[in-house]
A and B are shown apart, each in its own frame.
Chain A
Amino acid sequence: EVQLVESGGALVQPGGSLRLSCAASGFTFSSYAMSWVRQAPGKGLEWVSAVIGSGVSTYYADSVKGRFTISRDNSKNTLYLQMNSLSAEDTAVYYCVKGLRLWGRGTLVTVSS
């Protein structure tokens, strides 16, 4: 069964950092581009970042560029999102997405003092 399980969400203070993880199983992880998409409470969906299968190329929304870093460890079938300089506007459920088709259940990041 294809599965994506996010973890690492937490309550963090403004200006803080957090690293999200997404454990993938049931498919050849290295063959697929992976994305992070977020959803602020009561709001719509916002694409955040993507990385190609090899991990060589990465892409970011302007809203997170320079603060967030996407990466992957294909030996561990795991996707990461390092988030720095967090602000209240980053509060959201963060979803890990396989090729825009399969979504994990999400992990909640709350930025508040």
Chain B
Amino acid sequence: DIQMTQSPSSLSASVGDRVTITCQASHDISKYLYWYQQKAGKAPNLLIYDASNLETGVPSRFSGSGSGTDFTFTISSLQPEDIATYYCQQSDTLPYTFGQGTKLEIK
């Protein structure tokens, strides 16, 4: 199975800060990486697909980059409504494994 190592596991930042989360795959997954946002008590919501494509309706402050084994997710200017846990998931090879998640809090 492909292991997805996501870091950090938690993050505290101020409104307006630039926030970065990384995800590293144990094998080359090309561009096949998704980023999700999960708010407390809710289902995950897709933000980024194929590493860098913004899902329809997602604010442009969210972005993704990377290919192969190293990927980055960025919030350019943190907003209060961005409080959530963020997950990466590889969709290159079954089983479609997830990162451990990053819990984002506002300072």
Contact = CB atoms under 8 A, between A and B. Distances in A.
A59 B95 contact: yes
Interface string A5-32: 0000000000000000000000000000
A88 interface: no
Contact of B44 (A59, A61, A62, A103): A103
A54 B43 CA distance: 26
- Chain B interface: which size bin? 20 to 34
Given A44-B87, A44-B100, A45-B89, A105 B94 contact: no
Interface residues of A, number: 17
Grouping DSSP codes into helix (H, G, I), strand (E, B) and loop, the B interface class, with mixed when no group exceeds half, is loop
B101 interface: yes
B96 A47 contact: yes
A71 interface: no
- Residue picked from B1, B34, B43, B89, most chain A C-beta under 10 Å: B43
A34 interface: no
Contacts of A47: 89, 95-98
A85 B98 CA distance: 25
Interface in A48-101: 50, 59, 61-62, 95, 100-101
A44 B46 contact: no
Contacts of B101: 44-45
Interface of A: 35, 44-47, 50, 59, 61-62, 95, 100-106
